[in-house]
Amino acid sequence: MMTDMVKNDILRQDSYGYSIPRIASLVPSITELLVALGLGSQLVARTGYCIHPKLALVNVPKVGGTKDVNLAKLRRLAPSHVIVNQDENRLETVQALREFVPHVIVTHPQGPADNLLLFEQMRQEFGDIPQVSLHCDALADELQRALARCRASSWPQQRVLYLIWREPWMAIARDTYIARMLAEVGWQSWPAVEGGETGAARYPVLQGAEAWLADVERILLSSEPYSFNASHLQQAQALCPRAQVQLVDGELLSWYGPRAAQGLDYLRLLASG
């Protein structure tokens, strides 16, 4: 049941007559996006992985992780809106949220261009708050320009292994957001599988003896969720002896929202080097 506190808060308005939402974000990149849209002061909860921008989030309470949300604590914070992601949050969490949160907003960008839909989704939810629409327009313009810069070049196709974990090695399926980012500069991710809308199949485990590994031209070691560093370069090289191995910024390549345009420009630099 919805608490009286939430019911009252939905009706609360500022001195200009705009509704004041109480927003909880359970998605790190969405938390950063909300701050970029000027909604930082409306954030009442975040996950422990919501770390950017640091100063804006210092006083925002944490309610666990993306997969292990403290629902009791979140309920006490009485959010009017909770933002989740189809890939990052559990279905049972979303179902539980719907029992006490008036507005559960489900996001699911599956490629860089989908950020345009994400910005529009945020506009539809919070566009009556001053400056939100203007910020959405600015982010959309920045993204479209970054996409155009990528697509202005004819990129030679390369076979790429993007690793997100070790012991066991884990890669990405071709229908993930990351793989579609890589495709903007002609990088074809391997293995040649699709993982579906959600679930573990989106991040396939490698045995290390797959025949296609011999043909990989570039290995990308992501900075997240596993924090790869220089000590792992040789181990990764052993997987694909012919490949160029490099460390990459996983936040720029996997976070959507305000980092998407930066990520595309970052990819162009990597592919040009």
Per residue in 241-263, pLDDT tens?
999 999 999 999 999 999 999 99
Per residue in 132-172, pLDDT tens?
999 999 999 999 999 999 999 999 999 999 999 999 999 99
pTM for this entry? 0.90
Per residue in 20-42, pLDDT tens?
899 999 999 999 999 999 999 99
**Quick check: helix, strand or coil at residue 228?**
coil
Band of pLDDT at residue 229, cut at 50, 70 and 90 = very high
Q: According to CATH, where is 3.40.50.1980 located in the chain?
A: 4-108, 158-272
What is the pLDDT at residue 201?
A: 92
CA separation (Å) from 130 to 18, 38, 78, 115, 237? Answer: 8, 9, 23, 21, 51
What is the pLDDT at residue 198?
A: 81
End-to-end CA distance of the chain: 56
Whole-angstrom distance, CA of residue 198 vs CA of residue 251: 20
- pLDDT score of 12 more than 80: no
Class for the domain spanning 4-108: alpha beta
CA separation (Å) from 119 to 68, 106, 139? Answer: 26, 13, 8
Q: In this structure, what DSSP letter does residue 62 have?
A: B
Band of pLDDT at residue 188, cut at 50, 70 and 90 = very high
Evaluate the CA torsion angle 108, 111, 115, 120 in order and state its sign.
negative
Which CATH architecture does the domain made up of 158-272 adopt?
A: 3-Layer(aba) Sandwich (3.40)
Per residue in 54-93, pLDDT tens?
999 999 999 999 999 999 999 999 999 999 999 999 999 9
